[in-house]
Amino acid sequence: MSAADLAGILPELLPKLWVFALRLARDQRDAEDLVHRACARALERTHQMKPGTSPLNWLFSILHTAWISDSRRRRARQHTSDGWDVSFMDTNEDPAGRNAECDMMNRQIVMEVEKLPEAQRAVMLLVAVEGLSYYEAARVLDVPVGTVMSRLSRARRTVEARFAGPDDAPMKANGANNVMGAWTRRPVGGA
């Protein structure tokens, strides 16, 4: 793929990159910087993209690498960032017809996902939010598929435990398990 080809499809990929960056960075300005740097690097290095690689997954990988570098620099400077604003979350209409209760549960899940450790949060965002397969997420994060599965499993258990009470029956009755299932269940296979 040439830089001109990538530049042609980049506008349609920006919303997904923006959402992923915002959820990783938890700060609007940092997310904007991440997306800008990822796009610039991708356009400068299109020759490094392997044939058959999804441009979106390749951009996710570049963005994630830039985020890791930023995180390391921030830790060295003892910099903390503010939480990200849930109102910037990508809102796609649910063809099954969402209701206010499901919307509230989704917001609560997003808030709990935000509290996850960085590695688990990145896997949860790629698999559950962006819809990547375990294999694709492993390639984006440059880790083995087993690591993706392990991190996602721990993330799921952590988020689900925060919603579980002494008795899980009320949670099942109000649809919480169904919402969590929609957020976290993805196939292993992928391209």
User: How confident is the model at residue 151, as a pLDDT?
Assistant: 92
pLDDT value of position 99: 67
The tokens describing 185, both together, are: 């269940």
Long-range contacts for 110-116 (Cβ within 8 Å, ≥24 apart)?
110/86, 111/86, 112/158, 112/159, 112/162, 112/163, 113/23, 113/155, 113/159, 114/23, 114/26, 114/83, 114/84, 116/155, 116/158, 116/159
Q: Please state, in angstroms and rounded to a whole number, the distance separating the CA atoms of residues 46 and 6.
A: 8
Residue 149 has a pLDDT of: 92
pLDDT at 70: 77
Q: Residues 6, 54: contact at Cβ < 8 Å?
A: no
Per-domain boundaries in the chain: 3-77, 98-184
- The class that CATH gives domain 98-184 is mainly alpha
pLDDT number for residue 176: 44
The domain defined by 3-77 folds into: Rna Polymerase Sigma Factor; Chain: A (1.10.1740)
The pLDDT of residue 12 is 93
Instruction: Kindly list the averaged pLDDT for each block of 10 residues, start to end, along the chain of length 191.
Output: 84 92 87 90 89 89 86 60 50 56 76 86 87 89 92 89 65 45 51 46
